Amino acid sequence: MRLGSFIVRRRKSVLITYIISILVAGAIGSLSFSRLDSGGYSDLNSESAKAAGYITDTFKVQDPVAILVVDAGTRSVDDPTVMSEATTLEKEVAAAKGISRTLSYWSTGGSPNLASSDRKAAFLFIYADIENFDFEGYEAVGKTISENFDGKYKSLEVYAGGGAVVTNAINSKIKTDLLLAEGIAIPLTFILLAFVFGALVASAMPLVVGVGAILGSFFLTYLLTLVTDVSVFALNLITGLGLGLGIDYALLIVNRFREEMHNGKSVEESAIITVGTAGKTVFYSGLTVMVTLSALLLFPLNFLKSFGYAGVVVTLFAIFGALIPLPALLAILGKRVDKGVIRKGGLAPKEDGRWAKTARTVMARPVPVVIGSLALLIVMAMPIVNIAFAQVDSRVLPASDRAAISSQVIEERFASFEGSPIEVILPDGVGRESALNSFLAQAKSVEGITRVGELEYSGEDIRVQVIPGTSSRSLDAERLIKELRALEKPAGLLIGGVAADFTDSQGGIAKTLPWALGWIGFAVFILIFIFTGSIILPIKAVLLNGLSLVATLGVITWIFIDGNLKWLVGDFTVTGTLDTGSVILVAVVVFGLSMDYELFLLSRIREEHLAGKSNVEAVAVGLQRSARIITAAALLLAVVFAAFITSGVTSIKMLGFGVAFAVLLDATLIRALLVPALMRLFGERNWWAPKSLRRFTLTH
């Protein structure tokens, strides 16, 4: 109560200080935008990363940043006209900004490895200046190549592809799509906020928390960019989650403030009680979200770490905004918070209502409700047996995108992927050539290898390129790398390249996942125990949220791997896999938000139970007081993320659908049916804990 009393006494100075601070933080934080990168998909401690160090530092070579497929139509690549036009094209490409050199079928004197199987198309590889080369420069090269050389060139058809082109295409598409999504979500969210809160003034309260959380997070993100790399896509999580948590916490705080005033308390008393009750819930709910999202920091990929940074800082600022400036503003507004009435009642508190009746109906027949709900969740989860993981490649783009078409042309018309070789490095290999040649002889017989190059020397180190016949970011590539590494080989031999980088990234995620899950389970259990004083409730919460998450992943698998429901989510290329990073992001965000809603509900049930109500009545009244908030918050958050379904990039489409579906499933089937049914079955045992541990629990 002391925090609430301080805020109420100093309400104006608290609010003014907050506004000034957050505006300054936003201004400084905007400097971070130019410092963010679009990479971070590699495990920097892996074997492939070590091999990459030798390739760039010792051998002074790099893979091409872009690839042009020059298609001669019905003519041979050796046709004089084709040769002349292709040579002119190559000179123009070499002169483009950011390009250091080129290599093609024609400039190598007709290397057969660079021609298509039908010899009517050939590769033109593009290399960028290694010096001063960063992610921004990488994308810039891709943009230059796409805009200037993709399409018709004289009598030739040119397809632009390769890493820089695909990266630029995906990132550009995502940025455009997110603007569209925000254009849909923001106006719709404001309309729904006005309807949910019932008054225009009250509906603006989430902005106090959400905008403050976003601007404050930009500031901390800027500080992070001074010491580490942060992905540009962390901004999307900051804006989406900042607005979502702003809605969640503002709903809880404003509703409790109204409730206390409705019960005859003064404005000052209502604000103080709100901070001491709903504020406590916000604090512990926010902590559960923070510890859940912090699990992303354990993964070796900077892409996932960046989302961990973003999730933790935006939740921290959302908690701060809900506990400090929002109560101060409510204390200033008082009853004026209900000005601009949209509909009478809004979220006016009721002791009894539809949610209480629903809870009593559920608790009158708990066993059938539990069996039916679990059966439905199991049915949803069943497709998860088909789940398979890969990483983002050109196939996440619409099939009509030129970068996607180029990748398909390469796969269909060329026998090998010359532009993304498997790199074999033998440090201090001089004198050990026989052992290396023995390994390479075995490698030739591995299914998927099209050819093995010659030995290249740099001092004592040896490099060999092994050319695969499969795309580098696929399940086949992962199998290929694992088979190569399982062969008998000289001590210290390193296998690198794009396929190895993909394999190591997937392996790094797989090794870290059990630790991340263990951290989430342990930390959430401890926090819910401290908050509720029960051993049973945190166990149920973790299990139910885990089951809800598995059901969500099952539905995602059914849609995005099995290719169903395109009429709802829009068209996409079925690849048979899900993007690993996006799935982990969905899982962690969904689990964190589910725990958020769990504590919203349990806090009111526990409060009513401590006030002397029976278990059944505590659940009924608690659900009545919190379910409308949870449902409204879930609906609003679902709108924010469902707008992402409009994206043409499959991984973003999946992220939007996954989070929207999961929060709605959690707010309805889990909170409205399973939780009250299980609370009824466990009865007073819900609140059991050993006497020796009770001193560690929170006093409500």
HEC readout, 487-534 = CCCCCCCEEEEHHHHHHHHHHHHHHHHHHHHHHHHHHHHHHHHHHHCC
Q: Which helix (H) or strand (E) holds 208?
A: helix 205-225
Pairing label, strands 99-104, 121-128: antiparallel
Greater pLDDT, 687 or 305: 305
- Residue 350 has a pLDDT of 60
Number of folded domains that form the chain: 3
246 within 8 A of 318, measured Cβ to Cβ: yes
413 and 321: one domain? no
Whether 162 shows a pLDDT value over 90: the answer reads no
* One domain for residues 225 and 127: no
Q: In this structure, are residues 74 and 130 in contact, taking their beta carbons and an 8 Å threshold? A: no
**338: pLDDT strictly greater than 70:** yes
Domain boundary among 341, 368, 392: 341
Residue matched to tokens 């455009």:
176
| Assigned domain for 585 exists | no
Residue 447 carries which DSSP code? T
Domain that holds residue 226: 1-35+199-341
Q: For a pLDDT cut of 90, what percent of the chain falls above it? A: 46
pLDDT at 175: 79
- CATH number reported for the structural domain that contains residue 112 in this entry: 3.30.70.1320
Q: Are residues 205 and 297 in the same domain?
A: yes
Any idea which residue has 């042309």 for tokens?
409
Instruction: Establish if 420 belongs to a structural domain.
Output: yes
Among residues 152, 326, 355, 162, which one has the least CA distance to residue 254?
326
List the CATH number of the domain containing 219.
Answer: 1.20.1640.10
- Residue 696: what pLDDT? 72
Q: What is the mean pLDDT of residues 449-463?
A: 91
Q: Which residues contact 306 (CB under 8 A, 6 or more apart)?
A: 40, 229, 230, 231, 233, 234
Instruction: Quote the mean pLDDT of the chain.
Output: 88
Same domain, 337 and 215: yes
Q: How confident is the model at residue 346 (pLDDT cuts 50, 70, 90)?
A: low
237 falls in which pLDDT band (50, 70, 90)? confident
**Quick one: average pLDDT of 498-506?**
92
Examine the pLDDT at 352 and tell me if it is beyond 70. no
29 with 100, same domain?
Answer: no
Q: How confident is the model at residue 1 (pLDDT cuts 50, 70, 90)?
A: low
Residue type, 218: F
Rg of the chain taking only CA atoms, in angstroms:
29
CATH number for 492: 3.30.70
Query: Alpha-carbon distance 343 to 58, whole Å?
Result: 71
Specify whether 205 is located in the same domain as 319.
yes
Calculate what percentage of the chain has a pLDDT beyond 70: 97
pLDDT of residue 442: 94
Q: Tell me, what's the pLDDT at 178?
A: 77
Is residue 26 located within the same domain as residue 72? no
Is the pLDDT assigned to residue 347 strictly greater than 60? no
265-302 residue pLDDT tens? 899 999 999 998 889 889 989 999 999 999 999 999 88
Main-chain phi, psi angles of 151, to 5 degrees: 120, -150
Window from 231-235, 260-264, 583-587, 605-609 with minimum mean pLDDT: 231-235
User: Residue 516 pLDDT > 70, yes or no?
Assistant: yes
- CB neighbourhood size of 131 (10 A): 6
Residue ending a domain, among 316, 341, 366, is: 341
Residue type, 140: A
Residue 251 has pLDDT above 90, yes or no: no
Least confident range of 204-218, 363-377, 567-581, 602-616: 602-616
463 and 422 both lie in a single domain? yes
Higher pLDDT pick, 178 / 334: 334
Mean pLDDT, rounded, for 370-390: 94
pLDDT band at 341 (very low <50, low <70, confident <90, very high): confident
Please indicate, yes or no, whether residues 286 and 419 belong to a single structural domain of this protein.
no
Task: Place 136 in a pLDDT band, splitting at 50, 70 and 90.
Answer: low
| Residue 457, token pair as written in the block | 């020397």
DSSP code per residue over 173-205: HHHHHHHHHHHHHHHHHHHHHHHHHSBHHHHTH
Whether 431 maps to a domain, the answer reads yes
Distances (CA, A) of 262 to 426, 606, 620, 661: 76, 21, 20, 34
Res 552: pLDDT:
95
Crossing angle (nearest 10°) for helices 234-262 and 163-197: 10
Identify whether the C-beta of residue 41 lies closer than 8 Å to the C-beta of residue 303: yes
- 55: exposed, middle or buried (C-beta count within 10 Å: 0-12, 13-18, 19+)? buried
Q: Is 688 contained in some domain?
A: no
Torsion of CA 360, 282, 322, 237, to 10 degrees: -100
160 forms bridges with which residues in the sheet?
68
Q: State the Cα–Cα distance between residues 686 and 413, nearest whole angstrom.
A: 64
Residues 212 and 313 in one domain: yes
- Please calculate the CA angle 592-595-597 and round it to the nearest 5 degrees: 115
| pLDDT for position 289 | 92
CA nearest to 617, candidates 301, 238, 625: 625
3 state DSSP class of 544? helix
Report DSSP state, residue 384.
G
* Whether residue 134 is found in the same domain as residue 250: no
The verdict on residue 444 lying in a domain is yes
Q: What is the pLDDT of residue 38?
A: 67
pLDDT at 348: 53
Work out whether the CA dihedral 399, 645, 304, 172 comes out positive or negative: positive
pLDDT recorded at residue 272: 92
pLDDT at 351: 60
What average pLDDT score do residues 396-415 get?
A: 88
For the residues 115-122, what does the mean pLDDT come to?
92
Structural domain ending residue among the three candidates 293, 311, 341: 341
Question: What distances in angstroms separate CA 671 from CA 461, 574, 631, one per listed residue?
Answer: 62, 33, 9
- Least confidently predicted of 92-106, 349-363, 458-472: 349-363
CA torsion, points 266, 271, 275, 279, in degrees to nearest 10? 110
Q: What residues contact 643, with CB distance under 8 A and at least 6 apart?
A: 180, 181, 182, 184, 185, 188, 656
For 17-31, 86-100, 316-330, 409-423, which range has the lowest pLDDT when averaged over its residues? 409-423
Task: From residue 568, give the alpha-carbon distance in Å to each of 22, 226, 383, 559, 686.
Answer: 39, 42, 18, 10, 40
pLDDT at 134: 59
Amino acid at 227: V
Q: Which range is least confidently modeled, 102-106, 336-340, 540-544, 642-646?
A: 336-340
In a domain, 273, yes or no: yes
Task: Say if CB 466 and CB 454 are below 8 A apart.
Answer: no
Q: 393 lies in a domain? A: no
Separation between Cα atoms, residue 199 and residue 249, nearest integer Å: 17
- Reported confidence tier of residue 399, pLDDT bands at 50, 70, 90: confident
Q: How confident is the model at residue 606 (pLDDT cuts 50, 70, 90)?
A: confident
In a domain, 262, yes or no: yes
333 and 408 inside one domain: no
527-548: per-residue pLDDT in tens? 889 888 889 999 999 999 999 9
